Structure 1
Amino acid sequence: MQRTYPDTIKLQEKPRVVELYTKLGEFASWMKRPKDAQEIQKDTRKSLPPTMLPMPF
């Protein structure tokens, strides 16, 4: 026999909500993955051109 609890969360059965939760889960797992070499090179700091640097005095 299965018990039912009044305070439990019920999952949505609507297709759009299920699709939203699925996409959110995929995005969260994508955010957790380690960066590859190309992304690391893209994120490296670049020096400013001398015209954009502040005056030293």
Structure 2
Amino acid sequence: MMKIVKSHLETIEGVATYPMISLLIFFVFFGLLLWWVLTTSKERIKEMKEMPLDDQQPKPFDQ
């Protein structure tokens, strides 16, 4: 079974770039997520943390 898959993958031109692209997307996503976590204000984190326990109506976005 693996011989069949390997032989088909070898026929695809540039197949080695797909794992590199997926690895790049992975690191970019988690890098941006880490940046967001480190730069978000403590008040915003506290507000989001308390959202499930809040019985009030949701606040409208500032316009």
Q: Using structure 1 for the length normalisation, give the TM-score.
A: 0.35
Greater percentage in helix: 2
Larger Rg: 1
